[in-house]
Structure 1
Amino acid sequence: MRILVVEDDAVLRSVMTKSLHEAGHRVDAVQRLAEAEQLWQYQPFDAVLLDLNLPDGNALDGLRRARARGDRTPVLVLTARNRTDERIAGLDAGADDYLGKPFDLAEVEARLRALVRRSQGGANVVELGRLRFDGVASRIFLGEEAFDLPAREYEVLWELAHPPGRVVSKRALSDKLSGLEDSLGDNALEAFVSRLRRKLAGTGATIRTLRGLGYLLERNESEP
């Protein structure tokens, strides 16, 4: 998943970013509302972790603006404020879930997975050919064995699989998998897809290129 973390506490922001990175996610982390809104408006995210008290404004105002323009990215609000009326205000502004500080990082990750599953239709498992994409474990399996891939190849395949059969443009895929510190260019993306095609041989799944449109993960009908 690609996650936007909006948190003004430098230590907490660093800890959350490290934890999410180690769990296999791509993370953009900012401390100000203006930075968050600029990224959120022009970059695709799977989920947003949003602290309410920011140096340059109330994060709920930014959340309301995002919802007003039709953005439905799942949002988990993180805040030290844990009064009932403030939780209600956050949910009314468009938050999908609310977690008071202090919190357990494992619970943050679990709630994020649940929010993203819900936004994608609630499916915990996607199956294609002999591949199984487990949304709870964030793992890919080939039969009963783990289908382990380098991080970037994993990210490309996971994105194409949610859901499979969806055409994803090169630009959309590159934007989704690029972060503040690095960018995934067309040449690199084509190299990852080429390597994935070779590794998918025998899995019953394949990646098809639709010229001018992008990539499509689908059942390989030539394999049993």
Structure 2
Amino acid sequence: MATAKGISVGELSRKTGVSTATINFYVNRNLLPHPVKTARTRALYPPQMVERIARIKDFQDRGLPLAVIARILDNPNPAAELGLSGTPTRTTRGPVSLADYLEQTGIDRDVLARLIEADILRPGRDESGLVFDRADLAAGRAAARLLNEGVEIETILRHDEFQPVSRAEAHFLAEHLAEAMQFEPSQRKATAARAAFATLRDYMRLRELETAYPGWDQPSR
């Protein structure tokens, strides 16, 4: 039941589609405030908790752990809370035109079109058409190196199959960033944590490669 002062846990559950047990769990995890008691067996939540729970559910649907959600929930710019607000945008990075991108990466238009179609490359757009930032350049150069080393374009396009893995790693990285930035938020700490995370993940992939394919880096006879 809703009143001028707030809504009951039952009404909050009906409005959000979240069980009362989950609401109590959110309270225990400090994602929601404790309700205000109005009688011995009655307590009310602020009406704005409907929107707050919707925000929590949205973050959970994206795969973010509750520890991260607790840190970014009250920030209108979650990326800033994770220390990513200082990451240059496409404009401040100096967007690269299509012609310059092709020249600087060495890939041709057909390969580029296929990488974009497979959602492996995600360039921006402005009034002149496609624009590319430094991350796009690095990815394009990596694709060009693979092609030059003899890897088939069809194999490279299969990176699209691993998008769920990339999303999972991104959420895991967000958890690392939230913990690293907990007491001393700074762009330096965010950058250092991201680099360390990448090194550790690369190390673990290498160990898996060595286990599955011993001598993978030795010339075949």
Output the TM-score relative to the length of structure 1: 0.27
Bigger relative contact order (CA 8 A; separation at least 6): 2
Output the TM-score relative to the length of structure 2: 0.27
Greater fraction of residues in helix: 2
Report which of the two structures shows the higher radius of gyration computed on alpha carbons.
2
Greater fraction of residues in strand: 1
